[in-house]
Amino acid sequence: MPDSYAIDDDWNALYVDGEWRPAEGDETIAVEDPSTREQVATVPAAGEADVDAAYEAAAEAQSEWADAPPARRAEVIQDAIETLQSHSDEVIDLLTHEAGGSPIMGETSVQIATDQAGEAAALPRQMKGEHAASNVPGKEHIVKREPRGVVTVISPWNFPLNLSMRAVAPALAAGNAVVIKPATNTPITGGLLFAKLFEDAGLPAGLLNVVTGHGSDIGDAVAGHPESDMVAFTGSTAVGRQVAATAGENLAEQSMELGGNNAHVVTADADIDQAIDSATFGSFVHQGQVCISINRHVVHESIYDEYVDALVDRAESLPVGSAHEEDTVVGPIINESQRDEMLGYVEETVDAGATLETGGETADLEGVDDSLVVRPTVLSGVTNDMAAACNEHFGPIAPVIPFSDIDEAVAIANDTEYGLAGSVHAGDLGVGMDIADRMETGQVHINDQPINDEAHVTFSGTAASGVGGYNDGAILEQVTETKWISLQREPREYPF
């Protein structure tokens, strides 16, 4: 088992039933640092027998945990928060090595995860039911709220810490047990780190289990396990559809945040300086590897050229390089396939008639043969059907699309299968609100950018961007279920 939270500790074990144990087979998965391209850790490649053991442990431990006093469940979550905060520097370092996260990304991840766990710590006392009178004389109704049982968390690689915490902490707080299957690229910060955190926080054995492995080997076994009562997934829409179909065979509850193609609408009377500040952060933080990042800039034609020039200046000013450098803003893409796909979209878009204003290539890193760092990229003369605009490029790429009037801007923004997030910059807040109302997304931010996540505000998407929700009361609904009990206090008269 790991003795500390350092990347060079021994993470080569699964966590099942409160024990760090080897996988049934001998296969392992190498964890690569995206900045250096060097192997920094090894984790087990679990098999279906390991998955079964994890769910059996979870199911066995859950009923006793559901009966634990609310204060006890809240105490464990609070202890996990204290543990995370006391080891925050090490956790940020883990994110740098494993996810290629810059210091900004790491610090933000810890802050959001702390906020989410803090909100979850209040859930045990919010599991209140209802009482209602009946139409039948002498009868009353009681509706109780109970944990679902075993919650499956399939975590992503882009923000593995906070996007896992938003499901793990509420599930445990509500009295469930949890099985985590982390992304292959980030098995530590999306999975094994949680085992360490909650073990140190005193969570009873069996309530949190982590199985690392390839999705192609154990993905279906996790998503469709008979003991799984709810599946929380964050990832691409394509994979999400497969997970949903598999989980649906067991009629398991689902909360899924999937892909996005988020528009940043800028009107003619917007404050361009503020719009560019938002655009720079919303497009380039964590290399654009954010489901709610800006995928398309939709800008009024009267300010289009000024906007493009200003965005190019900002893009070219951003420090680019290894995530291990303190001043780096744009670091490495997670792996070659993601890098090559996004650069392919850029090439296709230019071939279709757009202009590459800056970027569109990798940045050399000293000592690295095949750099994963993509320079911040701005494309002008883009239409909504070009590759970098109609696909979720998931990179530091800013396609800028002109519009002539508000109706056209809304049509462009909505011309996508996704409905996750969006943003609007407008000098007239009434116009901004009108545009936000007409954007078909789960969330819109006026005079801001779309990367926002606060644990006390519901987070959800529409259309191909997912089902269910996270945060606030939405996640409580997902990880619990209701039970109706009626009480007939007087003899009831029946018609026969």
Residue whose C-alpha is closest to residue 261's, from 111, 420, 69: 420
Q: What is the DSSP string of 93-109?
A: HHHHHHH---HHHHHHH
Residue 170 tokens, joined: 């509420």
- The catalytic residue among 32, 98, 253, 291 is 291
DSSP 13: S
How do 177-181 and 130-133 pair as beta strands? unpaired
Is 291 known to be catalytic? yes
Residue whose C-alpha is closest to residue 304's, from 376, 377, 382, 375: 382
How do 397-403 and 377-380 pair as beta strands? parallel
| Distance in angstroms (rounded) separating the CA atoms of residues 20 and 13 | 6
Q: Residue 376: is it exposed, middle or buried by C-beta count within 10 angstroms (0-12/13-18/19+)?
A: buried
3-state secondary structure of 278: helix
Q: Residue 495: is it exposed, middle or buried by C-beta count within 10 angstroms (0-12/13-18/19+)?
A: exposed
Helix (H) or strand (E) holding 165: helix 160-173
Question: Residue 92: how many CB atoms within 10 A of its CB?
Answer: 21
Is 257 known to be catalytic? yes
Helix (H) or strand (E) holding 70: helix 70-86
Measured CA distances, 310 to 81, 274, 276, 318, 465 (Å): 41, 11, 7, 13, 31
Measured CA distances, 431 to 252, 267, 405, 437 (Å): 42, 9, 12, 10
Q: Angle CA(226)–CA(474)–CA(165) in degrees, nearest 5?
A: 70
Residue 339 tokens, joined: 């890098």
- The catalytic residue among 119, 199, 253, 257 is 257
Question: Catalytic residue numbers?
Answer: 257, 291
